[in-house]
Chains A and B, each alone.
Chain A
Amino acid sequence: MFSQYFGQYLLNQGLVSGDKLHQAILAQKETHVKLGVLAINQAYMTARQVEEVHQAQMTVDKRFGEIAVELGYITEVQVGELLSSQKNAHLLLGQALIDMDEFTYETFSQSLSSFKEAYSLTDDQFSSITNGNIETLVSSILLQNHLGGKQWLCDYVSLFAKNLVRFIDSNIRLEIGDGQNQSRCEWTFSQDILKDDLSKTVTIAGDENAMLHLASRYAQESIETPDEMMEASVGEFLNLHNGIFLVNLSNQGIELNLKPQVPARNIPSNSFPNTIKLNVIGTDTSFDLIISDLSDLVVHQS
């Protein structure tokens, strides 16, 4: 998931064009992350040092790791650690851009640093995110959009992101705000979360194409018409997600309930006042998640 944010960041900063980013994303499957990129990512070596080792490799028949150790830039233990480390997706993307001559090691190194700065991330937080910690990523996104401090929101959105990755699409990105920019929502799927007499609604909204894509991915079969199966699939994904959220709250001593999910068509976009809107951007689709303020529901019962 982080790879999607990193790629979008590079695009937004003008560091890469849309075409080249797309090419690099496709090239990731064939890309082999080299030790230089791994060393920069872990801040074991600078870009200048990596370039120096590469230059040296042209004159001596030795491996990158051997030369880097001889020059004192890295230890053998660190080489071993890097060689056995997980090849995170953003490193594949970075290596692909370097292989395409779109990036130098210096621009790759600088883009990692500026990303951390843009999202106010410590090195530990960045490492956590690149190793797949979705909570840390979501927390930093919410903070950047002045929505920090709402633990229930971080929990809800993090869980939604995990469920999207698990059931729908591993290449997703969440952005705060209404991505649809339409006066009406062609399709909505809403579900009420209840506590005694209090009821709050969460809604998935999007156009027909987006709902068909979402439904097909969740059902793991092609759904090509907006029929009962599409409604059932999108509705069940929302129901499953909300159900798991409620189970997590139950484990903290907070008991809530759900109503059946309700599909609707052509709902005015201004029908959702006092909500937080998230735009979900996936491989081949985009839709909105519209969340009411759940803070009154998630207080511990005294």
Chain B
Amino acid sequence: MDIFGLKILICDDSLLVRKKLRDALEIAGFYHVLEAGDGNEAIEKCKNEKPDVVLLDIIMPKKNGLDAIQEIKEINKNTLVIMASSVGTQSNLIQSLKLGASNFIQKPITVEAVINAIQTTLQERGNS
């Protein structure tokens, strides 16, 4: 599967993180990259844009990442939710996976980690 054709939504309250990650993804070959600044915006973007992958921060104002996962999965259960947070604690890891996230990337985020997470999940889905 051509993963670079996937529509990716970056959800992080940090303008720096969104810019750096967008630039890195586009250089890597991803050509459909969207952004959201908090959980509420992410949910709206999921309703309107139907991203294939959501890279979701946890610590955000208005609605944090953990609170947004369930609604994102309700909009489209096949949306691949990958947590991308500095707070990769046991508690957040377990909770996010229970709520429907497929993977967890500890910040600082690299494009390689994102690609690995997408490929691993798609492979697991293909095998199940």
Contacts and interface: CB of A to CB of B under 8 A. Distances in A.
Interface of B is mostly: loop
Given A240-B107, A243-B107, A247-B106, A258 B87 contact: yes
Contacts of B86: 239-240, 242-244, 258
Interface string A154-196: 0000000000000000000000000000000000000000000
A36 interface: no
Interface in A235-249: 235-236, 239-240, 242-244, 246-247, 249
B40 interface: no
Contacts of B88: 243, 247, 250
Interface of A is mostly: helix
Nearest to B86: A243
A260 interface: yes
A246 B92 CA distance: 11
A72 B47 CA distance: 81
Nearest to A167: B108
A257 to B, nearest CB: 7
Q: Give the size category of B's interface with A.
A: 20 to 34
Interface stretch (B14-22, B26-34, B67-75, B117-125): B14-22
A219 interface: yes
Interface string B77-91: 000000001111111
Interface in B38-75: 59-61
A236 B89 contact: no
B38 to A, nearest CB: 9
Nearest to A260: B61
B35 interface: no
B51 to A, nearest CB: 22
Interface residues of A, number: 24
A236 B16 contact: yes
Contact of A243 (B15, B17, B19, B85): B85
Given A243-B107, A258-B59, A260-B59, A229 B87 contact: no
Given A258-B59, A259-B59, A260-B60, A239 B14 contact: yes
Nearest to A227: B15
Nearest to A259: B59
**A228, A239, A249: most-surrounded residue (chain B CB, <10 A):** A239
Nearest to A250: B89
**B16, B17, B19, B86: most-surrounded residue (chain A CB, <10 A):** B16
B15 A250 contact: no
B83 to A, nearest CB: 12
Contacts of A249: 89
A229 B13 CA distance: 12
Contacts of A251: 90
Contacts of B17: 232, 236
A250 B90 contact: yes
A233 interface: yes
Interface of B: 13-17, 19-20, 59-61, 85-91, 106-108
Given A236-B14, A258-B59, A260-B59, 7 more contacts: A228-B15, A239-B59, A246-B87, A250-B91, A255-B91, A257-B89, A260-B13
23 contacts: A228-B15, A229-B15, A229-B16, A232-B14, A232-B15, A236-B16, A239-B14, A239-B86, A243-B59, A243-B86, A243-B107, A247-B89, A250-B89, A250-B90, A250-B91, A255-B89, A257-B87, A257-B91, A258-B86, A258-B87, A259-B59, A260-B59, A260-B60
